[in-house]
Amino acid sequence: MNPFTPITTGSGFWNPLIWIIAFITALLLVYAIRLFGNKQYKKGSSQTKPFLSGNVAENNEQLHVKGVNVYWGFTEAFKGYYDKMKRIHTGDTRDYVLWFLIVMIGLFFIVLGVL
């Protein structure tokens, strides 16, 4: 059997040769777009310094946008829920895996009981 023979399925066909040609075409297109890039880029210059909203950052902490600030309104609205959740979350991955297994087994028995 020829490895490049199309495989016919109920919804069309699959041909590895077409995928190889499409992949090579995509790579050539990406390379052609890259050739139009800015030639004035210099590594290690001020062009590579990080900035946030147009301001040059002096250290990495200035670049970090904290989630507390972004989600303040959301967490404030659900403050009662989050306070309860903080007490039961230990931060131990084994506890989360245990809860995941308990929920999945419970869902399994519910689905098994319905069917």
- CB-neighbour burial class of residue 101 (10 A; exposed 0-12, middle 13-18, buried 19+): exposed
Identify which has the larger pLDDT, 90 or 34.
Answer: 34
Where do we find the tokens 């800015």?
Answer: 38
E strands present in the chain: 7-9, 12-14, 51-52, 55-56
Specify the amino acid at residue 36. Answer: F
**Token couple for 65:** 């946008």
Residues paired with 55 in a beta bridge? 52
* pTM listed for this prediction: 0.35
Place of tokens 């297109």: 29
- How many contiguous H segments (helices) and E segments (strands) does the chain have? 5, 4
Q: What is the DSSP letter of 6?
A: P
Distant-in-sequence, close-in-space partners of 17: CB < 8 Å, separation ≥ 6: 4
Q: Which tens digit of pLDDT belongs to each residue from 35-69?
A: 988 888 788 777 777 776 777 777 767 677 676 67
Which of 8-22, 30-44, 53-67, 88-102 bottoms out in mean pLDDT, i.e. has the lowest? 53-67
Q: Are 87 and 81 in contact (CB under 8 A)?
A: no
